[in-house]
Amino acid sequence: MKTCIVGAGAIGGFIGTRLAAAGRAQVTALARGQTLQALRTEGWRLQTAAGLLHAPAQAEDDAARLGPQDLVILAVKAPALASLAPQLAPLIGPQTLVLPAMNGVPWWFCQGLPGWEQAPLRSVDPQGNIARALPLAQVLGCVVHASASSVQPGLVQHRMGQGLIVGECGGGSSARAQAVADLLAHAGFDASVSADIRRDIWFKLWGNMTMNPVSALTGATADRVLADPLVRAFNSAAMLEAASVGARIGCPIGQTPEERHAVTARLGAFKTSMLQDVEAGRGIELDALVGAVQEIAARLQQPTPFIDALLGLTRLFGQVRGLYPATTAAAQSGNIAG
């Protein structure tokens, strides 16, 4: 299976190295800058508890030099996808599958829901560029339950988790989703197929949408966020709002905030991906994690004061540090960020 990894950072490098080393897929990468050079000179590299996993790599910065693929795995940061998506056309043939292994709510999440018609989520796809470039009929949903970080360009450190959930955006089972899951399982992932991938996406988001921005705002590791009773209560209140929104769009949460906090606490003193981005001076994935939830709630005319506060505070924090784009006064005063 011809497979292209778009964005060979932490998660892209994690998946790409495993697939390349397993040998069942012909793996290439669309990358740029130092990561591109590192892949060309050093190949795929993944540091694991068992040692360094290595495989040769073919990497390009122009999709036209790679041509149509069987599978395109998107592992870029969510804010980058709107401008990148139109450049991926040479990779996508009539049978190509697109698998976004990304954080937060994807652009297609509300398509097909009553009342949404084909309108994109403005928070994650402001101009509809992603929806136009990536045919929904060829997209599979994906949830990543793993933690990895880029030690240096082209070298990824795996920290915990091996889980990848794949599913049809519209729900149900399919041979093509199973084939992708089988490919990932052969490469050593705990891969499974979900009959309701939207619910799986919302469930992961439910825990990440508070811990990520709060840790970024405070600079605190997850254990310290949970140890402060006032901050913990704030997170719980925002999570209850998100659970209520989820219940109205067919994504109910079968867990209490305290039960999720207990799961998170067992992971110890870790830095969230958003905190890592802040410390590295990278843009933050605020819209996919929080803005999209607030947008959906606004569309449902459901008040979300805690989510609103979280979005506003983190947005301003990011703007002051140049990690989130400036917005117009009208957008800032309205219900939709961006």
Q: For residue 30, what is the domain's CATH number?
A: 3.40.50.720
Q: How far apart are CA 42 and CA 4, in angstroms?
A: 18
Measure the CA–CA gap between 209 and 289, rounded to whole angstroms: 5
- pLDDT for res 333: 40
CB distance 10 to 156 below 8 Å: yes
Average pLDDT score over residue span 140-154: 94
Is residue 168 located within the same domain as residue 260?
Answer: no
Say if residue 118 is in the same domain as residue 260: no
In this prediction, residue 120 has a pLDDT band, given cuts at 50, 70 and 90, of confident
Residue 334 has pLDDT above 80, yes or no: no
Q: The pTM is what?
A: 0.93
| Torsional sign, CA 202, 207, 209, 212 | negative
pLDDT of 335 over the 70 cut: no
- Is 218's pLDDT higher than 70? yes
Once rounded to an integer, what is the mean pLDDT over residues 79-102? Answer: 96
The residue-averaged pLDDT of 153-181 equals: 96
* Calpha distance 310→291 (Å, rounded): 10
CA distances from 243 to 82, 143, 215 (A): 27, 18, 21
Percent of the chain whose pLDDT exceeds 90: 90
Burial of 215 (0-12, 13-18, 19+ CB in 10 A): buried
Q: Is 305 inside a domain boundary?
A: yes
Q: Could you say which of 160, 195, 230 is where a domain stops? A: 195
Which has more confidence, 292 or 116? 292
pLDDT for residue 338 is more than 70: no
Task: Please tell me whether residues 206 and 134 are part of one structural domain.
Answer: no
The answer on pLDDT for 331 being more than 60 is: no
Of 138, 167, 195, the last residue of a domain is 195
Domain count for the chain, please give it.
2
Which tokens go with 147? 């933690």
In the numeric block, which tokens belong to residue 221? 């590791």
Place of tokens 């996993």: 53
Q: What is the largest CA-CA distance in the chain?
A: 54
In sequence order, the 6+-apart residues with CB closer than 8 A to the CB of 1 are 24, 25, 26, 70, 71, 183
Beta strand pairing call for 140-152 and 44-48: unpaired
108 and 220 part of one domain: no
Is residue 338, in this structure, part of any structural domain at all? no
How many angstroms separate the CA atoms of 157 and 13, rounded? Answer: 9
In whole angstroms, give the CA distance from residue 250 to residue 300. Answer: 13
Residue 228 and residue 91 in one domain: no
Q: Give me the mean pLDDT over the 72-90 stretch.
A: 96
Q: Please compute the mean of the pLDDT values over residues 145-151 and round it to a whole number.
A: 91
At residue 118 the predicted structure's pLDDT band, cuts being 50, 70 and 90, is low
Residues 165 and 227 in one domain: no
Task: Give the pLDDT of residue 311.
Answer: 98
203 versus 112: the higher-pLDDT residue is: 203
- Single out the residue in 154, 180, 195 at which a domain terminates: 195
21 and 106, same structural domain? yes
142 belongs to a structural domain: yes
Nearest CA to 28 among 74, 66, 84?
66
One DSSP character per residue, 7-69 reads: --SHHHHHHHHHHHHH-SSEEEEE--HHHHHHHHHH-EEEEETTEEEEE--EEES-GGGT--E
pLDDT of amino acid 330:
32
Query: What is the span of the domain harbouring residue 105?
Result: 2-195
Residues 232 and 207 in one domain: yes
Does residue 118 lie within any of the structural domains? Answer: yes
What is the three-class DSSP state of 124? Answer: coil
- Whether residue 151 is found in the same domain as residue 219: no
Would you state the pLDDT for residue 336? 40
Q: Residue 39 has what pLDDT?
A: 98
Residue 1 has pLDDT above 80, yes or no: yes
- Percent of the chain's residues with pLDDT above 70: 96
Asked if residue 44 is part of any domain, the answer here is yes
Domain identity same for 45 and 186: yes
Q: What angle do CA 79, 85, 91 make, to 5 degrees?
A: 140
* CA atoms of 27 and 57, how far apart (whole Å): 7
Average pLDDT over residues 85-89: 97
pLDDT tens readout for residues 244-283: 999 999 999 999 999 999 999 998 999 999 999 999 999 9
Q: Would you call 271 a catalytic residue per the annotation?
A: no
Same domain, 290 and 244: yes
User: Could you give the residue ranges of the DSSP H alpha helices within the chain?
Assistant: 10-22, 33-42, 78-84, 129-133, 175-186, 197-218, 222-227, 229-248, 257-265, 273-280, 286, 292-299, 305-320, 329-333
Calculate mean pLDDT across residues 29-54: 96
pLDDT over 90 (residue 37): yes
In this model, does residue 243 exceed pLDDT 50?
A: yes
Q: What is the pLDDT of residue 211?
A: 97
State the chain's mean pLDDT as an integer: 93
Are both 191 and 206 inside the same structural domain?
no
